[in-house]
């Protein structure tokens, strides 16, 4: 059966043997269901729900809750998450589980703020990139509960079981988790609640050492008990869980910690927050419908880039040839320029989205791409009054956020999420075990900018799950960590599949570029004209040609790209998974 499936995908036995010999990770395939996430604990949590009769939403929620325990180096329960859901036979839906700026968080407050203890003189970011002054309301939990309430089949107590087991019974820490604690020890010690949570007994744990998060386990058990005590049907019981987190005892404790330690977030902010549905944004690329979250994320960057690239014969250029890399890079730079200038929370700013996503706009923008020279300019479309772009003098440094969870079940339901925020060094809200997000740093303080800090607004996040349909049917789900790099990494993976016929594992392992030609979404919002990082696996002649074209090339390690997607491709009744070896990614199916 597998051989016939490979042949149906257009891969000969000889070609398959050659490809798989060159892969770092053997492809994972199945005919029923598949779960992709960051580690074995998360994948097992999701798969357990599928085996017990749950659907993709139950599995996705369970895997994400497990990630909030086992992957707190990059994501915690106080973070945020855009989510794309597709139930079998129905169109995709987007859930915004992204928190908002507290009512006290005005631009004036941050323009006059004092330096935090960990900030160096002369390197004070517009908004702190960690600590309570950078906090937005927790969004991910309400987003998960909204998805579970409306589209899942299991009670909260069931989907949270794996997370409680991991927090209460402990799990062996991975190298990355340990490294992040060690790197951030001095900052964590500023907050006793964080020090005690991450370093029991004041000691940095070692790799493979069992680590327990009893305070987090206690909070999760409280939420499960709230469901059990509630009266009514399943939906009302899950709604009671949401209320307990935001409007009940747990929400009060989270807010009280913020207020008593000088943070702007209050209990009123917690009470007023609710996750919500949003319309997906889409484009058609050579017969494929690409689905992304809206302009409160950077998701439409991929849609704009695809519209630009549709005017080129990329296949004829050759995969990762200098001409191909140059063309894709220049399209990405134009799309990011529009992100930097025009994206923000549509509730607070009028976003010219119909223009930005139109094929006509792409045709005009395409004329700006010089096939013989790399652009060094920041060139957003002129679609309104000019606004000076923010750009600090510091460096935002390495991004330390984000994970991804993707699930496809046997009915064809799909869960496609990019959970993030509350990454280390995080402030643990008192005895709750819940880390708070510092995503407020993604706002700017520029008057008139769509992403200007305003109380109640969502920061324009980098988080960007991707779903692709073919003839209205599921074709692919994909998401990745990687901050600003997410959409350019997934764009390259998608093109590897639809233009060059690669299988998902081959597509994620292929060498990638990473442009920095945009205003960074974090801390100082710096702009690095023409900068592009190339993995060392590119041929020397290609690297030399990219330099000749004017790109500011930096050659990095063989597997240095900052993103690591998991991909699940749906094809003729079987599933084909890819997990990027650049970071810990795990995928399992049957």
Encode pLDDT of 60-83 as tens digits: 999 999 999 999 999 999 999 999
pLDDT score for 573: 84
Domains in the chain, number: 1
Contacts of 34 (CB under 8 A, 6+ apart): 28, 406, 407, 408, 568, 575, 577, 587, 588, 589, 590
pLDDT at residue 13 is higher than 90: no
Q: Has residue 42 been placed in a domain?
A: no
Q: What residue numbers bound the domain in which 350 lies?
A: 281-382+463-563
Residue 396: which pLDDT band, with cuts at 50, 70 and 90?
Answer: very low
Q: Of 5-14, 126-135, 351-360, 426-435, where does mean pLDDT reach its minimum?
A: 5-14
Tell me the per-residue pLDDT of 496-532, one tens digit each, with 9 for 90 and over: 999 999 999 999 999 999 999 999 999 899 999 999 9
**Strand pairing of 531-535 and 552-556?**
parallel
pLDDT at residue 574 is higher than 60: yes
- Cα separation, 461 vs 486, in Å, equals 11
pLDDT score for 577: 98
pLDDT at residue 397 is higher than 70: no
Q: Dihedral, CA atoms, 460, 401, 132, 252, nearest 10 degrees?
A: 90
In which residue are the tokens 């692919």 written? 476
pLDDT score for 17: 47
H-helix segments, 230-352: 234-246, 249-260, 267-272, 300-309, 314-317, 322-342
CATH number, domain of 488, equals: 1.10.246.130
pLDDT at residue 251 is higher than 90: yes
Q: Has residue 364 been placed in a domain?
A: yes
pLDDT at residue 16 is higher than 80: no
pLDDT at residue 3 is higher than 90: no
pLDDT score for 22: 87
- Cα separation, 418 vs 94, in Å, equals 12
Tell me the per-residue pLDDT of 416-433, one tens digit each, with 9 for 90 and over: 999 999 999 999 999 999
| Dihedral over Cα of 136, 140, 145, 147: its sign | positive
Helix (H, G, I), strand (E, B), or coil: what is residue 395?
A: coil
CA distances 119 to 110, 122, 130, 213, Å, are 14, 9, 10, 29
Q: Has residue 518 been placed in a domain?
A: yes
Q: Has residue 49 been placed in a domain?
A: no
Q: Has residue 435 been placed in a domain?
A: no
pLDDT score for 589: 95
Q: What is the mean pLDDT of the chain?
A: 94
Q: Has residue 456 been placed in a domain?
A: no
Residue 449: which pLDDT band, with cuts at 50, 70 and 90?
Answer: very high
pLDDT at residue 14 is higher than 50: no
pLDDT score for 123: 85
Both tokens of 449, joined, read 């900018």
Q: Has residue 40 been placed in a domain?
A: no
pLDDT at residue 380 is higher than 70: yes
Residue 395: which pLDDT band, with cuts at 50, 70 and 90?
Answer: very low
Q: Of 22-31, 117-126, 302-311, where does mean pLDDT reach its minimum?
A: 117-126
Provide mean pLDDT across the span 345-374. 98
| Residue 541 dihedral angles phi and psi, to the nearest 5° | -65, -35
The sheet with strand 276-278 has its strands ordered as 276-278, 93-97, 81-86, 414-417, 405-408, 34-37, 586-589
* Percent of the chain with pLDDT strictly greater than 90: 90
Residue 400: which pLDDT band, with cuts at 50, 70 and 90?
Answer: low
H/E run at residue 458: none
pLDDT at residue 12 is higher than 70: no
Judge residue 410's burial from the number of C-beta atoms within 10 Å of its C-beta, 0-12 exposed, 13-18 middle, 19 or more buried: middle
Tell me the per-residue pLDDT of 260-303, one tens digit each, with 9 for 90 and over: 999 999 999 999 999 999 999 999 999 999 999 999 999 999 99
**Strand pairing of 473-479 and 566-571?**
antiparallel
pTM score of the predicted model: 0.95
Q: What is the biggest distance separating any 2 CA atoms in the chain, rounded to whole angstroms?
A: 69
Q: Has residue 489 been placed in a domain?
A: yes
């Amino acid at each position: 059966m597998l051989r016939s499936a490979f042949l149906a995908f257009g891969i000969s036995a000889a070609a398959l043997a050659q490809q798989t010999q060159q892969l770092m990770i053997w492809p994972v395939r199945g005919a029923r269901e598949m779960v992709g996430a960051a580690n074995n604990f998360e994948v097992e949590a999701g798969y357990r729900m599928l085996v017990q009769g749950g659907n993709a939403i139950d599995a996705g929620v369970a895997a994400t809750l497990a990630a909030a325990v086992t992957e707190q180096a990059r994501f915690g329960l106080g973070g945020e998450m855009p989510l794309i859901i597709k139930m079998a036979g129905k169109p995709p839906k987007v859930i915004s589980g992204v928190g908002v700026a507290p009512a006290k968080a005005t631009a004036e407050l941050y323009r006059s703020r004092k330096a935090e203890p960990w900030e160096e003189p002369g390197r004070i970011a517009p908004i702190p990139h960690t600590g309570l002054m950078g906090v937005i309301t927790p969004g991910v939990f309400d987003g998960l509960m909204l998805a579970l309430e409306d589209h899942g089949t299991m009670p909260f107590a069931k989907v949270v079981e794996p997370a409680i087991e991991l927090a209460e019974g402990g799990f062996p820490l991975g190298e990355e988790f340990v490294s992040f604690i060690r790197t951030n020890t001095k900052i964590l010690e500023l907050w006793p609640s964080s020090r005690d949570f991450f370093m029991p007994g004041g000691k940095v744990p070692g790799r493979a050492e069992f680590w327990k998060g009893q305070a987090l386990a206690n909070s999760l058990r409280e939420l499960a008990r709230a469901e059990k005590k509630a009266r009514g049907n399943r939906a009302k019981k899950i709604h009671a869980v949401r209320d307990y987190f935001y409007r009940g005892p747990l929400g009060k404790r989270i807010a009280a910690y913020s207020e008593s330690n000088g943070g702007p977030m209050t209990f009123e902010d917690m009470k007023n927050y609710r996750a919500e549905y949003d319309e997906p944004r889409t484009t058609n690329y050579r017969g494929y419908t690409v689905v992304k979250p809206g302009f409160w994320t950077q998701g439409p960057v991929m849609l704009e880039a695809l519209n630009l690239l549709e005017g080129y014969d990329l296949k004829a250029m050759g995969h990762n040839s200098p001409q191909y890399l140059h063309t894709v890079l220049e399209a990405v730079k134009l799309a990011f320029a529009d992100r930097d200038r025009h994206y923000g929370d549509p509730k607070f700013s009028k976003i010219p989205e119909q223009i930005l996503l139109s094929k006509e706009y792409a045709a005009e923008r395409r004329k700006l791409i010089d096939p013989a020279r790399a652009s060094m300019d920041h060139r957003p479309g002129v679609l309104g009054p000019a606004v000076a772009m923010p750009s600090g003098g510091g460096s935002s440094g390495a991004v330390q956020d984000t994970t991804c969870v993707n699930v496809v079940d046997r009915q064809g339901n799909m869960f496609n999420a990019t959970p993030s925020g509350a990454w280390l060094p995080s402030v643990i809200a008192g005895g709750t075990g819940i880390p708070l997000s510092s995503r407020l740093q993604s706002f700017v303080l520029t008057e008139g900018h769509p992403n200007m800090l305003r109380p109640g607004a969502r920061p324009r996040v980098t988080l960007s799950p991707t779903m692709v349909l073919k003839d209205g049917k599921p074709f692919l789900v994909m998401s990745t960590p990687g901050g600003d790099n997410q959409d350019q990494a997934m764009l390259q993976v998608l093109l590897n599949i639809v233009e060059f016929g690669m299988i998902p594992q081959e597509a994620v392992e292929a060498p990638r570029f990473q442009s920095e030609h945009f205003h960074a979404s974090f801390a100082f919002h710096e702009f690095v004209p023409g900068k592009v990082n190339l993995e060392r696996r590119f041929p020397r002649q290609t690297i030399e040609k990219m330099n000749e074209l004017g790109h500011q090339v930096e050659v990095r390690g063989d597997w240095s790209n900052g993103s690591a997607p998991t991909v699940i491709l749906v094809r003729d009744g079987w599933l084909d998974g890819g997990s990027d070896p650049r970071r810990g990614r795990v995928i399992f199916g049957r």
